[in-house]
Chain A
């Protein structure tokens, strides 16, 4: 793995943990003549949040969908907890950018939908869904339909749905890009708490540098043409200082600047 050499802060980074939940080895994916991914390798440590950050067209969503098993790579291999990925599996759950809620189903059914597809009995899955509806702060909205909710609440439904199937790996595809700035900040704080409290591995796609640095244990910078992992950053010192202090921590600001400097040339 490549470490940034310019910033002293990075030398404080902890050694990379050996316990890897998801590993991507030599993955390539072409769409016709377009190379979406070329020989990409990455490892995602267990119990941590890794961001995939990069300009549009760098293949970050493609990589996430390959990990989810929704797309097949042309070459290469993905393993989740040591097992090779051949398609969607119970060890991964996906949170979609556009929420992907069923408009004809109320919050309760949407949250329980993953369990419904698995054939869990109605009373059991609704008990479970009710717990996660509470956890994401939507109690009282069980009977509401998606069109009656705000964007932020809709994504909370999407998050509760992903949590309710109790997958060890959570894949989030730009989950906060369709919600407003204030809701987004609240989400980011909640996400930090979620990573701390749930023993899950999070893979988080975003195009926001600040967001990536704020929420991540590890940031993978992806660059386009040809798509590749250009560097991996592991911020460390501000992680323990509390959510409200992160944004004015010098290391946080340095990393944000650093990442922007390396991405600037790739933004049209």
Chain B
């Protein structure tokens, strides 16, 4: 079974890349390179090291923003989920944040925090945090009541109820929120480099487009997607080691 799912993954990748190659060869647009051209551009940038220099720049706001969003997002989400009053106070902020047209807000952020790292970290956080907060809080709120009662009847202290029952019970939904949040964070990082100042991968995209070097542009886009996928897989591995029973489902279902 394991092998079959691997074959299916490879088949799916082949289909997508094949369609890309064909679309590039027709070509559907002068500005759309073939898959192979893009890959050779990616290989070139990898060997001359320019992609690594770019990522050193892009990863700064990305890692910082995702880390902040994860820590504060899960923390706030737990708090909101555990306390009714906090939900009324904070939930609307994150719902508005999630619905806000970010591109329109970027000029405001730049005016307030300049064109440096701070603004970019903000963009990543605005993208990543709401979904993490909202899914954490709803997961916490939906902890089965009988499990909490069980812990209390066996003399759990409040912190033990949270650590040993609420968080493990909420962890599958927290992690799915985290996956969505992290992918949104990747979008935010690139958006900030396109909209604020062209640095890192955003710079490769902007610059290659301006000199009509489309293979390099698509290579940069492809690389960020690849990185996001790898990161999400890593997240799944972390989840499976931290909470071994998560794939096992609820008894009372």
Contact = CB atoms under 8 A, between A and B. Distances in A.
A100 B147 contact: yes
Contacts of A94: 149-150, 153-154
With most chain A CB atoms within 10 A of its CB, the pick from B154, B155, B246 is: B154
B163 to A, nearest CB: 11
Nearest to A165: B154
Interface string A22-41: 00000000000000000000
Given A99-B252, A100-B147, A114 B154 contact: yes
Contact of A102 (B152, B157, B165, B249): B165
A98 B245 CA distance: 19
B142 interface: no
Contacts of B147: 100, 102
A65 B149 CA distance: 10
B89 to A, nearest CB: 26
Interface of A: 65, 68-70, 88-90, 92-94, 96-105, 113-114, 116-118, 145-147, 154, 161, 165
Given A105-B245, A117-B164, A99 B251 contact: yes
A104 B155 contact: no
A105 B147 CA distance: 13
Nearest to B150: A100
B251 A103 contact: yes
A103 B246 CA distance: 8
B168 interface: yes
B251 A146 contact: yes
A117 B251 contact: no
B160 A70 contact: no
Contacts of A145: 245, 248
B249 A104 contact: no
B154 A117 contact: yes
B85 interface: no
B176 to A, nearest CB: 16
B244 interface: yes
**Which 6 interchain pairs have the tightest Cβ spacing?**
A104-B245, A100-B150, A114-B154, A94-B153, A146-B251, A100-B146
B151 interface: yes
Contact of A154 (B168, B249, B251): B251
A98 B249 contact: no
Interface in B94-130: none
* Secondary structure class of chain B's binding surface, majority of residues: helix
B144 to A, nearest CB: 8
B245 to A, nearest CB: 3
A151 to B, nearest CB: 9
Contacts of B246: 104
Interface string B239-253: 000011110111110
A96 B146 contact: yes
Nearest to A151: B251
* Secondary structure class of chain A's binding surface, majority of residues: loop
Nearest to A71: B149
Contacts of B160: 117
Nearest to B168: A104
A114 B164 CA distance: 11
B156 interface: yes
B150 A104 contact: no
Nearest to A114: B154
With most chain B CB atoms within 10 A of its CB, the pick from A65, A88, A116, A154 is: A88
Contacts of B250: 103, 147
Nearest to A65: B149
Contacts of B157: 117
A147 B156 contact: no
A147 B251 contact: yes
A113 B163 CA distance: 13
B23 to A, nearest CB: 45
A24 to B, nearest CB: 17
Contacts of A101: 251
Contacts of B252: 98-99
Contacts of A97: 146
A102 B168 contact: yes
Nearest to A106: B245
Given A96-B146, A117-B155, 15 more contacts: A68-B153, A88-B152, A88-B153, A89-B155, A94-B149, A94-B154, A97-B146, A98-B252, A100-B149, A104-B244, A113-B164, A114-B155, A117-B164, A146-B248, A146-B251
Interface in B144-189: 144, 146-147, 149-157, 160, 164-165, 168-169
Contacts of B248: 103-104, 145-147
Given A89-B155, A117-B154, A118-B155, A70 B251 contact: no
B251 A88 contact: no
B146 to A, nearest CB: 4
